[in-house]
Amino acid sequence: MKAKSNNDTAPKKRVYGWVIKIVLLTFVLSIMMSFIAESFLHTVSLPIAFIILIVFILIGVTFDTIGISIAAAELTPFISMSSKKIHGASQAIYLLKRADIVTNICNDVVGDICGIISGSMGAIITLTILQSTVQLSQLLIAVIISAMIATLTVSGKAVGKIIAMRKSKEITLFVGRVLRLLHLKFKREK
């Protein structure tokens, strides 16, 4: 029987390490985003609450589009761009080499958190409307707000996916340039 080498356990450790990191990242981001949303919603007017809700939906759609773009983009053009010293290309290469992690963060962590927070914001907005008016049916208000959130989220992500698939190179380079402007440093691979 063959003994397992240290190399056999290394991928498992990386996977478990990534799962732990993603759990912690999701937990921290959820707390921060929920706190921001809940704090603002209880202190602003109804139109502003709707604007905050739309902003969270747009954040989810944007990150979903970025995640799909990075998953769809090919590495070869960025290697060429990097050799020509095009700004953001080396950051894009870094993202593309870690596409599984980047798409997980963009689509699953940020996108799903925004979706969940949008739903809870919808519930708060529904309660606010119900407290201010008694003429409308509670069920009707809840259904309309839920349908609005679902429609904006699903249609926004559908449009985002179409754009991401068609413009994956441009979006990936744009994200690389944003990261470069933010002066995020990446480890050089050997």
Residue 167 CA to residue 175 CA, distance in Å, equals: 12
More confident residue, 26 or 135: 26
Long-range CB contacts (< 8 A, 24+ apart) of 8-17? none
**Position 178 pLDDT exceeds 70:** yes
**Position 72 pLDDT exceeds 80:** yes
Residue 104 CA to residue 20 CA, distance in Å, equals: 13
Q: What is the pTM of this model?
A: 0.78
Closest CA to 61 of 122, 146, 150, 147: 150
Residue 9 CA to residue 142 CA, distance in Å, equals: 50
Token pair 């208000």: residue: 141
Does residue 120 contact residue 131 with C-beta atoms inside 8 Å?
A: no
Residues 152-164, mean pLDDT to the nearest whole number: 94
Residue 143 CA to residue 173 CA, distance in Å, equals: 40
Q: Give the residue extent of every domain in the chain.
A: 9-181
Q: What pLDDT shows up at residue 12?
A: 60
Q: What pLDDT shows up at residue 189?
A: 47
